Structure 1
Amino acid sequence: MSEPVISTALSSQQQLERLGYKQELSRSVTTFDLLVYGLIFMVPIAPWAIFGTVYNEAQGMVPLVYLVGLVAMIFTALSYAQMAKAIPLAGSVFSYVGKGIHPNLGFFAGWLMLLDYLLVPTLLYVFAAESMIGIFPGSERWMWALLFVAVNVVINMSGVSSLKWMNRVFLVMELAFIVAFFVIGIRALSDGATPGSSFSITPLWDPATVSAPLLATALSIAVLSFLGFDGISTMAEESTGGRGSAGRAMVLALVIVATLFITQTWLASLLAGPYQPIPEDRVGNAFFDIIGTIASTPVMNAFFVCNVLAVGIANAMAAQAATSRLLYSMSRDGQLPKFLRHINSRKVPSYAILFVGGLSAVLVLFFVGQISLISSMVNFGALTGFLLLHLSVVVFWIGRRKSRNYLAHLAFPVIGFAIIGYVLLNAETQAKVAGLVWVGVGALVFAYYRRTGRSTELAEEREDITVSSQ
């Protein structure tokens, strides 16, 4: 006997109840809001800060790196879309793996994603604090980091409406600076203001330079550059756009931000002239040095301030929101302390938001100046979570739902798994060591739960209603 299919007319409330939960968060986030949120999380101007590093690693072909990244990450975005449609919960990979494969594995998926989500805000605050020293030499890094933490806690505690409004403001700001860069850069190339520079596709593809090792290096850099689009899935329980809205927003956000990355870095690479390695002491400021050669110092400083605000407030604000939703979801399923599931009058997980803010405030005091270490730990958590995501698509759709859509439910996740697996195998040693230590701590927590009789089961799904495999 075939399983019944959920009607597209089912309300968001009914979809949530099917999965065994009550509607507690405010459903006021449109698909457009999800798209804006995803763009802010990935930061449309993200290449500015790492342009010099990628330029040297890719021998000048920075836009190629981001093109490779789009191709690589689109498979992960499609896997997210499939699971978000079937399991529209705030827990993201924790919920997908827990309900798609097994609750015990779901616990470890959530635990691994915690390594990513708990440390991302800290990484962003540390990075923004380092940048503020360039604007205000002699000031204290920890002071700036704590200021950014406080601002983002206030915004997130104010409710999802405040978050949506701030996301739009910052997105407009970043897009305005991108347009300004195109105007200034194209004019400089057209006027011959940068000797040796001209319009060409060499930064995107140079047959004399492209090689398998270079593409492998580009893949490792590129995949990590797009981390953040997955945060859209944590807003699923606040979405008004139906089962497919989060998935559509993820794929669209990834394509849009990749296009912005590619075009910006293509123009910056042209302005840099024929490839020459950027000196080590200028790598971090390479993009802003380019701005300085084609515009005035005040204009260059304005770009620098925009970058700091985008990372320290806009990006960190989105990261804190995503992290609080993951904590809320895991707490609701008994995997974390119960107080983290508290919802305040503004319909946001207030205790989880305060916890993330407090943890970030403590961690920035220890991790100031250690961006590389935090980055490696974040990357391990994200990549291992992605591996489990792809696995959950195959098990849930092919194994449990007997789907015949082999392209979306088998081929795409297998390709995505292979790409992420390759990047993870070639990750830095410190990333693997830190990640394995975190897994070990998770195993101890899991063992404690089992020994004390605490269940790792998630809320019961009603088996009489299932989703379509199409």
Structure 2
Amino acid sequence: MEEKVTYRRTLTLFQVVALGLAWMSPMIYFTVYGIAYEGSSGWMTSSYTVAAAAILLTALSYIVMSKRFSSSASAYTYVKKAIHPYAGFLVGWVVLLEYIFSPVIACLTFGLYMHAQFPAVPASVWIIGINLIFAIVNIIGIKFSAGLSKIFVVVQILFIALFCAFLIKGLAANAAAIAVQPLLPHGEWGISAILTGASIVCFSFLGFDTVTTLADETINAHKTIPRAIMLIVLIAAVMYIVVSVLTKLVFPSLSFTNGDAAGFELMRLVGGAGLQSLFISVLIMAVFTQGVIAVTSASRLLHVMGNDSTLPRRFFGKLHSKYKTPVNSIAAVCVVSMLALVLSLETAIKFVSLGALTAFVFVNGSVVVQMYVKEKRRSFSQTIVYLIIPLTGACFVGWLLTLLDRTALIMGACWLMVGILYHLYRTKPALAAIMQKRQLD
């Protein structure tokens, strides 16, 4: 009889937080700076504050469900157990978009940046090379990935602190220019711009949910995972808001020649060519760590779905006997990541956004169904925690879903249809047996 191989529980709170921040990548603040600045009409501080509050509502729902169901797989498991197995499958299928296409974004971004630095080497070479490294690092084990992520996340945070130090120096040199008024909204135009900006910068917070896929490898997961979720969201919120405040005080208005490279231009304004060069180095490091943890999270989701026989169990449900990692799932994720050779960055981002926002809506709904409806926790405080907060979070995220363009929604509908057809194919023998039994009865 074949011995069952299980994960090693080695991850501490600090390591889980590091992995979550690595997926989120704090440096994303600068990579989307131009899009966010233009979308919010310069109201970055207020937009990030609104976005942080909205994300916190959904994070609270993840905390509730991670305490109630401590096993891995995030939204897939929560919806399956709280609402219905078929609903869980559909959500898990859509969430695959977020998890599987995140490594595609990392590979593509890495290839583009490295090609810009070394034009003689084609981007495709960098994409293939980094994809192989992602596979090797993940096969070796989660502890190695956690150690690597911890170092690189600290480097990102130190860079952001250095950036803030440059801004503070600028403020000290011209203290009379400090004004709080530009940070505050005024009039209908300001509020509209802030809400539009919030819908954009929400994507800077994506990634906190991925740590729930690591529950089976985390020490004391039912306590560690909820704490990690809260810490990740709060750390990100503080960083983004502080940087936005300082930047606004130093530069009340900005304009960029290239919105996609606005972060690069901002570095030159703040710290000159030296800070600009350091920025590129840290940014490449951030992309690398985001790719490593993206492959980790995607492979864990595939493994759980394989264990449940939602996906082929023989392939996705296996762990390597030596490394205790889902090698087959890792390989599958890295094969899909080769799409970075042909896909555009915009298309990959649309897939990730659609998957993440869908997961957020249904996790909020799972809290209401499980805690308020099934378990009837309906005291005054419980009504706020298990009904009002998750419904508010679901409505806000649902509104964000409506802001996605038509192409993204059509792609999502097509992917969902593929999932429905696949589920019918997988369950065809069971359905035939049920129909035969009914005919006999």
TM-score exceeds 0.5 = yes
| Contact 1:93/1:389, CA 8 A, preserved across alignment | yes
Partner in structure 2 of residue 248 of structure 1: 227
| Contact 2:57/2:390, CA 8 A, preserved across alignment | yes
Partner in structure 2 of residue 360 of structure 1: 337
Matching of residue 418 in structure 1 with residue 392 in structure 2:
no
| Contact 1:59/1:277, CA 8 A, preserved across alignment | no
Matching of residue 373 in structure 1 with residue 355 in structure 2:
no
Shift of 1:210: 5.0
| Contact 1:88/1:243, CA 8 A, preserved across alignment | yes
| Contact 1:61/1:202, CA 8 A, preserved across alignment | no
Matching of residue 399 in structure 1 with residue 373 in structure 2:
yes
Partner in structure 2 of residue 204 of structure 1: 183
Secondary structure of 1:437 counterpart: helix
For 1:448, give the aligned amino acid: Y
Partner in structure 1 of residue 82 of structure 2: 100
Partner in structure 1 of residue 282 of structure 2: 306
C-alpha distance after superposition, 1:286-337 (max 9, x if no partner): 22222223434233111112112201x1111111111011000000000112
TM-score normalized with structure 1 length: 0.86
Shift of 1:203: 5.3
Shift of 1:454: 8.2
| Contact 1:81/1:250, CA 8 A, preserved across alignment | yes
Q: CA RMSD in A?
A: 2.0
| Contact 2:46/2:185, CA 8 A, preserved across alignment | no
Q: Distance in 2 between matches of 1:384 and 1:293?
A: 38
Matching of residue 297 in structure 1 with residue 297 in structure 2:
no
For 1:219, give the aligned amino acid: A
Q: Structure 1 residues 204, 340: closer, same or farther in 2, change over 3 A? A: farther
For 1:136, give the aligned amino acid: F
TM-score normalized with structure 2 length: 0.91
User: What is the aligned counterpart of 1:386 among 360, 374, 398?
Assistant: 360
Q: Distance in 1 between matches of 2:319 and 2:106?
A: 26
Q: 210-219 vs 375-384, which deviates more?
A: 210-219
Partner in structure 2 of residue 327 of structure 1: 302
Q: Structure 1 residues 187, 227: closer, same or farther in 2, change over 3 A? A: same
| Structure with the largest fraction of helix | 2
For 2:7, give the aligned amino acid: L
For 1:314, give the aligned amino acid: T
Partner in structure 2 of residue 350 of structure 1: 327
Q: Structure 1 residues 231, 212: closer, same or farther in 2, change over 3 A? A: same
For 1:78, give the aligned amino acid: L
C-alpha distance after superposition, 1:360-415 (max 9, x if no partner): 12x11111xx1111111211111112111111111111222222321221111100
Q: Distance in 2 between matches of 1:342 and 1:150?
A: 20
Q: Distance in 1 between matches of 2:146 and 2:112?
A: 27
1:41-440 to 2 correspondence within 5 Å? 41-192=23-174, 198-202=177-181, 204-207=183-186, 211-271=190-250, 273-279=251-257, 282-311=258-287, 313-338=288-313, 339-344=315-320, 345-361=322-338, 363-367=339-343, 370-404=344-378, 405-440=382-417
Partner in structure 1 of residue 436 of structure 2: none
Shift of 1:202: 4.6
For 2:155, give the aligned amino acid: M
Secondary structure of 2:264 counterpart: helix
Question: Structure 2: 5+ residue runs without aligned partners?
Answer: 433-441
C-alpha distance after superposition, 1:258-299 (max 9, x if no partner): 11011123323344x3324433xx212222222223434233
Q: Distance in 2 between matches of 1:383 and 1:294?
A: 34
Shift of 1:234: 0.5
| Contact 1:157/1:348, CA 8 A, preserved across alignment | yes
Partner in structure 2 of residue 461 of structure 1: none
Q: Structure 1 residues 224, 197: closer, same or farther in 2, change over 3 A? A: farther
For 1:275, give the aligned amino acid: S
Q: Distance in 2 between matches of 1:28 and 1:158?
A: 14
Shift of 1:146: 1.6
Question: Structure 1: 5+ residue runs without aligned partners?
Answer: 1-21, 456-470
Secondary structure of 2:220 counterpart: coil
Secondary structure of 1:211 counterpart: helix
Q: Distance in 2 between matches of 1:242 and 1:305?
A: 34
| Contact 2:43/2:197, CA 8 A, preserved across alignment | no
Secondary structure of 1:70 counterpart: helix
For 1:265, give the aligned amino acid: S
Give the number of aligned pairs: 424
Q: 402-411 vs 420-429, which deviates more?
A: 402-411
Secondary structure of 1:453 counterpart: helix
For 1:393, give the aligned amino acid: V
C-alpha distance after superposition, 1:29-56 (max 9, x if no partner): 1122211211111112211111111111
Q: Distance in 2 between matches of 1:375 and 1:198?
A: 38
